[in-house]
Structure 1
Amino acid sequence: MPVEPLTYLSHLLEAADPVKNYTRKHLTPEIIKKYDGVRTTHGATLAHMVRNGAYNPHSICPRTGEAECYTKFVDYLDAVILDYHGVSDPAFKHPPPTFGDLNNLPFGDVDPEGKFVVSTRVRVGRSVDGFLFSTIMSKQDRLDLETKVSTALKSLTGDHAGSYYPLANMSEATRKQLVEDHFLFKNDDPVLRDAGGYRDWPHGRGIFHNANKTFLVWLCEEDHMRIISMQKGGDLAAVYKRLIQGIQAIEKTLPFAHSDKYGYITCCPSNLGTTMRASVLLKIPKLSAQKAKLDEVCAKYRLQARGLHGEHTESPEGIHDISNKRRLGLTELEAAKEMADGVAQMIAIEKSLP
């Protein structure tokens, strides 16, 4: 895929925050000299990876073009990964996938009274081994991936059985309704746009879901797949179990890109490792009014608190999207448990406040 010269993009990046923008922070003169002109087997360059950050100073991480980027541009990407994920050991190695005993999980319903948790959602990202990432994918690559993934999804059975709906054949009314109901992704993120994520839209994209929309798969948003389990209320155990069983069923026919060093490989280095985001919509109006206290709990349990509709949005009625922050260096089971423990503490504090 054509891309502007690295020297030009690095000049644009000078407008970005030198601390919070990891793309800029680690794009040193030495890195530029070492990697300018270097290409992966399928043509991904450092320029492709930093382009989204150059045009969006608020963006924080580069986007890779294929799994090979993590070895071809290792000095640059490892610097970003160590910094973003707070890893101190340069010889780090992500633990192997560990989902736990699904019939004896160390968490259950995080809100048995049903007063605080509006809904629970756990998702992972997956890349299909052997396919390029959205940064440099061609239209035919996307269509080939769509055929492969949708065929695998249509073979799911039981609670995971459902239908695949390609965006290219979807009516605008249906698409808008799915977006409004928070079931479907949009194409309005400038960071993803400038990373090549919306090229050839809407071809090669779609959504798979079961009958009651508690198990969904997004196809070709940022990653090849976003596998999602969700439902109303706080039964984290049920949501987590459904997700893991779905992942395991899909993996029987689709090989996922995985590394002994990085865990599951994704387009963005921020999602490496478990790739898991376990979250609840939590109604905590009293704690929400005490931002310092909320931030303290989040820091202790390594959680992220976002607004009702994502980062930098408001929290009407004190409803926050609370999720685990860590992806790399811990297991899937530990990531979900971290979120469950933090939410339990937030509910306890909310109850104690006058």
Structure 2
Amino acid sequence: SQYILNLIKNIYFSYYNVLCTVPDDRVSSRRNLDIPEALDTLERCYRLLASARPIRTPLSASSNKSTPPHVLGRFLKRQVFDLIKYRITKLDHNLFDVIWPAVKKLPDNRNVVQIVEEDFPGGVTAPDYYVYEVFTEFMTPLIKDLHNININSDFPQHPISDFKKNSLLSESSQPLVEINIDSGDDFVLTGTMECSRNLSGFELPLNLKIGKLEFVERIITTVLMRDDFARIIEQLSPESDQKGGSYYTLNEILEKPSEICAALAATGVLISLCEREEIDDCNRLHGKQWPYGRGVFVSDDKTVAVWINVHDHLRVVTSTPADAPGEIGLTFSKLSCIMTYLHEKLDFVFDEKLGHLSSRPTFLGAGIRFSLIVNFPGLSKDIDNIKHLCAVRGLQYRETLSPDIARISNYQCLSITESNCFNDFVTATSNLLHLEKDVSMQNSAHITTMLSNIFRRKRSSLADIHDIEKFQAKTN
């Protein structure tokens, strides 16, 4: 009967996993998941993802038409699922702890939904570093897809961070670079840049107890409150009167009302936060100790925020100037100076293939994310077209409450340096804004038809880029 066949299959895979557990295994718990309720939950999750899997053309993460269930369903096939569903990491995390952002029914609360979507856009999370190896049959091809890397090729070695290489240089050899991709302030509304890192010798914040959380907090804040860091902050904004910054605990940020929280929101460096009562499974999102042992260092002008122990040990967020939201050159220069200093003072966990490890698989490698809120009055008239354009240029397109306004950000930060990642982002966004300007100024049926022909072709980024460049040359 089918019941007996399933039983034999489960016994086989259980035995297989036991055989795969070797004495020098330092990443798994060296035991199998044998809780019936947990296995039943995983089976329901698999059926949900399998039902979301596209029947014909599989959707990659960068298609801008896919949802997290689409992406995960593409890689969590039955053979892979049966192989890894019994595994547990050395910190007792199973497969559900990895895929819950894509399968969990979230409360009808926009704050919670926004947190999950922004921090885990691929629908997966890493509750500990070991999931990347314990569930490698699933995680490796998924990570490649999330970062626009050919899933059939081997992972190259991740290059040494530019921030680490810059630490060998003098401060005078790192001039600020001015690049404004929207000098007329016509389309870009706001911009932010984030870089995340985790300290060597510590588990991710999700798994740390109070003592270790406070220890990590103390290590980082000691560096941030030093006089030489204050001088760096002062030099980055010489026109202001700032002399450094202040540190606030997360309790101070979450209290209502909170002046500092409002100030961070106004300058764009407030990250999405979630209070315990907003989600019934907050431990899975933040750990048992939330919000203790967490906080944020804020520069005096409120344009730099260094978040501590929120998903990752360290998250540096900078924003573009309010009077020049397209000035991403100076913003990246500011981020680079700060990260170069932190690389000199702190030791960060690093994997030769995955680069700087993160609790968020989309932040592996360089651990960097560039985001712009852009008004597209012309291109947004055909959402499918602009999504396709973003996809072939390596940009993630996320709609906002307004149909004309979207958040665009980079996909890839793995197997690439921070500066190369930034240069690719500058090229892609500049091209996008140039097209928007052409459409807005000329507004001709000929332009609309040509754009449609370019965008609707089968995905081939090189061919599309050549056609777009020819089109721009004709319209200039």
* TM-score, normalised relative to structure 2: 0.64
Match of 1:310 in 2: none
Distance 2:284 2:381 in 1: 37
1:79 matched to 2:164: no
CA contact (8 A) 1:298 1:305 kept: yes
Match of 1:154 in 2: 225
CA contact (8 A) 1:6 1:46 kept: no
- Structure exhibiting the larger radius of gyration computed from Cα positions: 2
Listed as ranges, the matches of 1:122-137 within 5 Å are 122-137=193-208
Match of 1:111 in 2: 182
Question: Aligned-pair distance for 1:330?
Answer: 2.3
User: How big is each residue's C-alpha offset from its partner over 1:288-314, in whole Å with a ceiling of 9 and x where there is no partner?
Assistant: 22324422431232112224xxxxx32
Match of 2:306 in 1: 217
- Structure in which a larger fraction of residues adopt helix: 2
CA contact (8 A) 1:286 1:350 kept: yes
Instruction: Report the AA paired with residue 305 of structure 1.
Output: Y
Distance 1:11 1:179, change over 3 A: farther
Match of 1:314 in 2: 401
Distance 2:131 2:98 in 1: 9
CA contact (8 A) 1:324 1:339 kept: yes
Match of 1:163 in 2: 246
User: How big is each residue's C-alpha offset from its partner over 1:236-261, in whole Å with a ceiling of 9 and x where there is no partner?
Assistant: 11100110110111222221111110
Q: Which protein, 1 or 2, shows the higher relative CO under an 8 Å CA cutoff with sep ≥ 6?
A: 1
CA contact (8 A) 1:35 1:46 kept: yes
Which of residues 155, 164, 167 in structure 2 aligns to 1:92? 155
CA contact (8 A) 1:67 1:257 kept: no
Listed as ranges, the matches of 1:178-217 within 5 Å are 178=263, 180-181=265-266, 182-184=268-270, 185-187=272-274, 193=282, 195-197=284-286, 199-217=288-306
CA contact (8 A) 1:61 1:269 kept: no
CA contact (8 A) 2:122 2:362 kept: no
Distance 1:144 1:31 in 2: 39
1:241 matched to 2:324: no
Listed as ranges, the matches of 1:280-299 within 5 Å are 280-299=372-391
1:250 matched to 2:342: yes
Distance 2:431 2:140 in 1: 34
Distance 1:71 1:255 in 2: 22
* TM-score, normalised relative to structure 1: 0.83
CA contact (8 A) 1:44 1:136 kept: no
Match of 1:172 in 2: 256
Which of residues 104, 115, 118 in structure 2 aligns to 1:55? 104
CA contact (8 A) 1:126 1:266 kept: yes
CA contact (8 A) 2:269 2:318 kept: no
Question: Aligned-pair distance for 1:226?
Answer: 1.5
Gaps of 5+ in 2: 1-32, 55-67, 107-116, 167-172, 234-243, 444-476
Deviates most, 270-279 or 296-305: 296-305
Instruction: Report the AA paired with residue 160 of structure 2.
Output: P
Distance 1:69 1:295, change over 3 A: closer
CA contact (8 A) 2:191 2:328 kept: yes
Distance 1:24 1:292, change over 3 A: closer
CA contact (8 A) 2:362 2:411 kept: no
Distance 1:53 1:343 in 2: 28
CA contact (8 A) 1:304 1:324 kept: yes
Which of residues 28, 32, 48 in structure 2 aligns to 1:15? 48
Distance 1:321 1:3 in 2: 43
Instruction: Report the AA paired with residue 343 of structure 2.
Output: E
Listed as ranges, the matches of 1:270-349 within 5 Å are 270-307=362-399, 313-315=400-402, 318-349=404-435
Distance 1:267 1:140 in 2: 20
Q: Please report the RMSD computed on the Cα atoms of aligned residues, expressed in angstroms.
A: 3.2
Gaps of 5+ in 1: 308-312
Distance 1:227 1:86 in 2: 24
Distance 1:346 1:82, change over 3 A: closer
Distance 1:34 1:320 in 2: 39
CA contact (8 A) 2:176 2:334 kept: no
User: How big is each residue's C-alpha offset from its partner over 1:27-76, in whole Å with a ceiling of 9 and x where there is no partner?
Assistant: 45555555456444444444433344442498743322332332343333
Distance 1:148 1:125 in 2: 16
Count how many residue pairs are aligned between Structure 1 and Structure 2: 346
Distance 2:128 2:316 in 1: 20
Distance 1:26 1:134 in 2: 28
